[in-house]
Structure 1
């Protein structure tokens, strides 16, 4: 059995005194991995029946996730927001631990593991799509993040949650579980995209880009009706406060251009790349829309949105970031 296999767990946790419970972790044999996927409309989706996550888990989606990881790093200026370097600083005799929820391809974890080689990283997702040969300080695990985590109370230094809102029907319950596993002074970091586009000059999207507005309206209603998923990006700070478990809650908003309309060369390039990612997102959402109240209009909604972000100047997407300390 290879101790670099992400689904094999070293029982002594790199030789350190482990604060996590490893009971029940098993290796997923290579031959069994196809059993975690199902094909619909020519796209590959997870087959975990209890997870509401709607997007595909195939090559196009991997390209989108990795592209967004690069763009977000440029947009926010780092791999994270908040006092992460201070929190993860090496301390003699202490093993720092970070959990990445909805890790996807695992690219954020791999980037972080390179920057913080003394930190133990756990990437959690419902499908085995991350590399099977991660660095020595990385473990990829399969888990539905709507269910309780295996980690013991107060055993984790940081929980990172990027773009997980479509995998969660009760974000408040998730935050209580995050609060349980974080140590006192531990850090929660969230990064979610708003579910609606905006105009950089503050004008009405419904007027300036009506097809984009209609596309996201249909997505919102479909996710609510078919999967019980609500848009929560702007509500996470209030949810954190309501738990009574967090303090020093800090929020920021970052605006990403969609399209090549910015005059600044760097923003123009970002807008071009971000538009590519949003076209992939729209095409991935086609299968979702076909399984809901807008099934008859799915193709028109997708193509209309792509037309708007290809022709209308000033469209932006909003990235909401939050970080908070465990009391």
Structure 2
């Protein structure tokens, strides 16, 4: 989400800035604003604050939905994220501290949420990809293990594709792979045990600090899609992202890493395959949606042809193992 940044020009957010200033402490002021790059759904700003006489510095992050599609869904998305951040506050999950939210843009130029800045940065490079994946698996097990009262449970998960909505690549040497993959999700969802899901857990939404043996997860961000559903679905989403970022082998290893950390997945191979395919096919045909922020974050090698090939090889590997 925040691998890079450029100087904020101030256009189109005057009302939002005024709202932010009302949330600050006595004597605090906004000293500088920078636009964070690498996000897809929303505009992210880093706000550096200074207290009276320039002391008492702290930093906040402002999320604003500006794209038409997300504007329509902003009230639900931002209200959900605000509720989740409150819920996670007393837990050991490294989530941002909620400061304020204006989900209906009653005061802001666009629907917005203000939160604390977490330490660290996203890391999408190939170096130490396996080590990071192991930490991702451990963190996801902890998220799924959260005890949530029935009253505080988020909404039931929503599927992001369906057999009749899957877009297939126009050119492929393996059309049978795609057809078999689509056929896997031509059924009712398998029986499953539900738990607390991040629902968009992948390397682009996790912050790291340190290197080598000191490498640590310092933050998990972007809780707007938080849901209640099968752990297999969160594992599937991160697996697909790893396959696209680092190749099919890394994507195939993630479920094993998750299980090794104590995570519980479906014991039925066909059921597990359903969730893996339901997620992977939502990226078809070329995963350009995720590639845009990843390329902005430095992975310029992730071209559409490369992503299409990796996704196809990943589908084939899933069918070999679980089909």
Greater helix proportion? 2
After TM superposition, the score normalised by the length of structure 2 is 0.30
Greater strand proportion? 1
